[in-house]
Chain A
Amino acid sequence: MAEVVVESLHKSFGAVEVLKGIDLAIADGEMMVVLGPSGCGKSTLLRLVAGLETVTSGEIRIGARRVNDLEPKDRDIAMVFQNYALYPHMTVYDNMAYGLRNRRVPRPEIERRVQEAARILGLGELLRRRPRELSGGQRQRVAMGRAIVREPEVFLFDEPLSNLDAKLRVQMRHEIRQLQARLGTTGIYVTHDQVEAMTLGDRLVVMNEGRIEQVGGPLEVYERPASLFVAGFIGSPPMNCFPARLGEDRARILLDGRSLPLAGPVAAEAGAELVVGVRPEHLEPADGGPLVLAVDWVEILGADTIAHGRIGEEVRICVRLPGATSIAAGDRLPLAVPPERLHLFDPRSGRRIDEKA
C-alpha cells in the first residue's frame, strides 16, 4: 500500500496542453475520485499515473518512489479499463493469471490468488468461460479480478461502470467500494458521474479543462463549492446562480432592491458585484419570503417536485420541493433561504468568497 503524489504535472499532446499543472496527494488506502466533464483530462491524469503516457513535466510518486520513467508493470499498479479490455481468446482464469505468469509468480501461488479473487467476486463457476460468454456485470468482475490478483499498491479505475445498465451500476459501485475498503488498497477512480463520485470517494477531485477546481470530501464539495464551476457541476438540478451586489455592511446582498441577510460579513469590498449561488433544494416556500418565484413550469418527479421560473425580470431559477405539491404554472411562490445556504462567488475569477476570518 502506498500514497500517490502528483506534483505540478503537465501533459501536452503536440501543441495542445491537456493537463495544466496538477498537484494532488492521495493518502495510503484512500479512494480518490476524479470527477469532471468529458474531455477535461481525467483519463489522461490516470494514464500518466499508470505509465501509459509519458509525463511532459512534473513528478509522480507512488510510495516514496519517483515513477516518471518506470514502465507500467514496474509501478505496482493495476488498472480497470472502461471497456474491460479482457483478452477475448483467454478463459476467465487465464485472463486473471496472465499478469502473474508474466511476473513469474509460482504456479501454486497463481492458483491460490485466482481462486481467492474468484471467491471474493463470485466468479467460481465461470473460470473456464471466455469473456464473450459472460454478461456485462460478470466481465466487469473479471476485470476487477484481474486487478486484485496482482495485489498492487494502487488501483486505477477509468469509468469502469459506464457500460453497465443503471441498476447494475449501483450494485457494482457498492461492490467496488467494499472491495477497495476491505483490501485497503489506495484507489484512483475516474468518472464523469457525480452520483458515482459522491458515493464512492473518500475525497473528490473536481477537474475542469486540465486544472483542479477543488479537492475535498463529498459533502465538503457539495456544501462549500470552491468555484462557480464546481457549484454548477455538483448537484442535480445544478445550483442557481445570479448576479447581485454586496451591501454596505458586507453582511447582506442586494438584489433588485430586495435584501438578503448573510450569515456574517464576507471578505469582499462593500458594494462589490457578486454571483450568488443557492441550491434548488435549499430554497423554502415562506409567506412573505424575500424572493418571489413566478412559476412557469413544474416537473413532478414523485419523491419531489421541481418548479422552474423567474425572480425579478430575467433571473431564472428552479426550486426543489419535497413530495408532490399543488404548485402550477402561473403561481407566484414566495421563497426564503437560510443565510448559511447562500454561496458567494467572485464574478471575474469564479472563486468562492468566504466569510471574513
Chain B
Amino acid sequence: MVENRPFLTFVAHALLILGILVVALPIWIVLVTSSQAPEDVLTAPIPMWFGERLVDNYLAVLGRGLTRSSSGPVAPMMLNSLIMAVSIAVGKIAISILSAFAIVYFRFPGRMLAFWTIFVTLMLPVEVRILPTFEVVANLGLLNSYAGLTIPLIASATATFLFRQFFMTVPDELAEAARVDGAGPMRFFLDILLPLSRTNIAALFVILFIYGWNQYLWPLLVTTDERYYTIVMAIQRMVTAADAEPEWHFIAAVAMLAMLPPVLVVLLMQRWFVKGLVETEK
C-alpha cells in the first residue's frame, strides 16, 4: 500500500486536473478568442493564446456594439440584466420572507391553504406558464418595460418554503420575549427575524441573482425594443445575425462580460457566508 500511495495521489490529482480542464478549457478558449482580430479567429488552429486586441474588442462591444449584426452597445444591456437580476432577487426575497412570516407567526383562516398554494408555484416555473403569463403581461401593457421583465418572475414565492423552515427553527420564546418587550409584529420582524435570517438571505440572493441574470426565454418574448434587451438574449441575437458571418471575437467578449457579474456576486456573497458562519460558530 505504501508504494501505491504516490500512484494514488497521482491519479487523484490527474482526475482533479482533468475535471478543471473540462470546465475551464471552454472558458479559456472564449477568453482567448475575445482577444483576437476577426481574421485570426476563423483560421484553422483555434488560437490558444491571447491576441493583440483584448482591450480594443471589449471597448468595442461595450461602447459601440456590433456593426455587422447591427447590435447596439453591450453596456446598457448589462445594465438591463443587472436591473432584472437584482429586481428578481430582491423582489422574490422580500415577498418570500414576508409570506413566510405571515404563515409561521400569524393564525388566519386559510393559512395552510395559502402555504400549499405557494408551495405549488414551485412546480410552475415560467416556462410552464409562459403563454398565459405572456397574455396577462401583454394585456396589462407591460411589454417592453422593466416591470414586464421582472414582475412575472418575482410572482412565484418559491423561497417562502425555505424561510418557513428557517422561521420554524427560531424558538417561540424569542417571539414571546419580544412581545413582552413591547415589540409589535413588524418590530419583531425587522429587529429580530430579519437579522437572524441574513445568512439565508445572502445564500438566496446568490441563487436568485444568477437565476434572474440567466433568464433567456422570457426576456426574448416580452421585449422587442432594443432598449430593454438583456445581455444573455443579445448573445443569441448576435450569433444568428441575418446573412452575415458572426463576429466571433466580439461574441466571445460579450460572453465573457455576461459571465462576470454572477461570478462577482458569488465571490462577494461568499465573504458574507463565511462571516455569518464564523459569527454563529463562536
Chain A contacts to B: CB under 8 angstroms: 50, 52, 71-73, 77-79, 81-83, 85-89, 98-99, 102-103, 130, 132-133, 146
Those of B105-131 within 8 Å (CB) of chain A: none
Give every chain A residue within 8 A of B196 (Cβ-Cβ): 88-89
Contact B174–A87 (Cβ < 8 Å): yes
A86 to B181, CA, bound (A): 11
Inter-chain pairs besides A87-B177, A87-B191, A89-B192, 11 sampled, C-beta below 8 Å: A73-B180, A73-B181, A79-B176, A83-B173, A85-B171, A85-B173, A85-B176, A87-B192, A89-B196, A98-B178, A102-B182
Query: Which residue in B173, B176, B187 is a CB contact (below 8 Å) of A102?
Result: B187
Those of B159-198 within 8 Å (CB) of chain A: 171, 173-174, 176-183, 187, 191-192, 195-196
Contact B173–A98 (Cβ < 8 Å): no
Tell me if B280 counts as interface (CB < 8 A to partner A).
yes
Those of B131-178 within 8 Å (CB) of chain A: 171, 173-174, 176-178
Contact B280–A132 (Cβ < 8 Å): yes
The closest CB in chain A to the CB of B175 belongs to: A85
Give every chain B residue within 8 A of A132 (Cβ-Cβ): 280, 282
Contact A81–B177 (Cβ < 8 Å): yes
Contact B180–A83 (Cβ < 8 Å): no
Give every chain B residue within 8 A of A82 (Cβ-Cβ): 173
A300 to B231, CA, bound (A): 83
Contact B195–A89 (Cβ < 8 Å): yes
Give every chain A residue within 8 A of B177 (Cβ-Cβ): 79, 81, 85-87, 146
Given contacts A87-B192, A88-B196, A132-B282, contact A99 B180 (CB under 8 A): yes
Contact A73–B282 (Cβ < 8 Å): no
Closest approach, in angstroms, between the C-beta of B186 and any C-beta of chain A? Answer: 12
Contact A73–B179 (Cβ < 8 Å): yes
Contact A72–B280 (Cβ < 8 Å): no
Closest approach, in angstroms, between the C-beta of A48 and any C-beta of chain B? Answer: 13
Give every chain A residue within 8 A of B180 (Cβ-Cβ): 50, 52, 72-73, 77-79, 99
- How many residues belonging to B are interface residues under a CB distance threshold of 8 Å? 18
Closest approach, in angstroms, between the C-beta of A45 and any C-beta of chain B? Answer: 15
A83 to B170, CA, bound (A): 12
Contact B191–A98 (Cβ < 8 Å): yes
Closest approach, in angstroms, between the C-beta of B281 and any C-beta of chain A? Answer: 9
Give every chain A residue within 8 A of B183 (Cβ-Cβ): 98, 102
Contact B174–A85 (Cβ < 8 Å): yes
Those of B256-282 within 8 Å (CB) of chain A: 280, 282
Closest approach, in angstroms, between the C-beta of A139 and any C-beta of chain B? Answer: 13
Closest approach, in angstroms, between the C-beta of B280 and any C-beta of chain A? Answer: 7
Interchain residue pairs with CB less than 8 A apart (17): A52-B176, A72-B180, A73-B179, A81-B177, A83-B173, A85-B171, A85-B177, A87-B177, A89-B192, A89-B195, A89-B196, A98-B178, A99-B181, A99-B182, A102-B181, A102-B182, A102-B187
A201 to B125, CA, bound (A): 62
Give every chain B residue within 8 A of A79 (Cβ-Cβ): 176-177, 180
Chain B contacts to A: CB under 8 angstroms: 171, 173-174, 176-183, 187, 191-192, 195-196, 280, 282
Give every chain A residue within 8 A of B178 (Cβ-Cβ): 87, 98
Closest approach, in angstroms, between the C-beta of B141 and any C-beta of chain A? Answer: 44
A184 to B178, CA, bound (A): 25
Give every chain B residue within 8 A of A86 (Cβ-Cβ): 177
Among all A-B residue pairs, the 9 with the closest Cβ atoms:
A99-B181, A85-B173, A73-B182, A102-B182, A85-B177, A89-B195, A81-B173, A72-B180, A72-B179
A52 to B280, CA, bound (A): 29
Give every chain B residue within 8 A of A99 (Cβ-Cβ): 180-182
The closest CB in chain B to the CB of A133 belongs to: B282
Closest approach, in angstroms, between the C-beta of B52 and any C-beta of chain A? Answer: 53
Give every chain B residue within 8 A of A98 (Cβ-Cβ): 178, 181, 183, 191
Give every chain B residue within 8 A of A87 (Cβ-Cβ): 174, 177-178, 191-192
Give every chain A residue within 8 A of B171 (Cβ-Cβ): 83, 85
Give every chain A residue within 8 A of B282 (Cβ-Cβ): 130, 132-133
The closest CB in chain B to the CB of A86 belongs to: B177
A256 to B122, CA, bound (A): 76
Give every chain A residue within 8 A of B195 (Cβ-Cβ): 89
Give every chain B residue within 8 A of A89 (Cβ-Cβ): 192, 195-196
A103 to B173, CA, bound (A): 20
Closest approach, in angstroms, between the C-beta of B194 and any C-beta of chain A? Answer: 10
A223 to B176, CA, bound (A): 38
Closest approach, in angstroms, between the C-beta of A77 and any C-beta of chain B? Answer: 7
Give every chain A residue within 8 A of B187 (Cβ-Cβ): 102
Give every chain A residue within 8 A of B192 (Cβ-Cβ): 87, 89
Give every chain B residue within 8 A of A52 (Cβ-Cβ): 176, 179-180
- Among A78, A83, A98, A133, chain B packs the most CB atoms within 10 A around the CB of A98
Give every chain B residue within 8 A of A146 (Cβ-Cβ): 177, 181
Closest approach, in angstroms, between the C-beta of A258 and any C-beta of chain B? Answer: 55
A132 to B196, CA, bound (A): 14
A77 to B177, CA, bound (A): 11
A118 to B192, CA, bound (A): 23
The closest CB in chain A to the CB of B174 belongs to: A85
Closest approach, in angstroms, between the C-beta of A96 and any C-beta of chain B? Answer: 10
Contact B182–A103 (Cβ < 8 Å): yes
Closest approach, in angstroms, between the C-beta of A308 and any C-beta of chain B? Answer: 41
Give every chain B residue within 8 A of A81 (Cβ-Cβ): 173, 176-177
Closest approach, in angstroms, between the C-beta of A131 and any C-beta of chain B? Answer: 11
Closest approach, in angstroms, between the C-beta of B268 and any C-beta of chain A? Answer: 21
The closest CB in chain B to the CB of A103 belongs to: B182
A102 to B190, CA, bound (A): 13
Give every chain B residue within 8 A of A50 (Cβ-Cβ): 176, 180
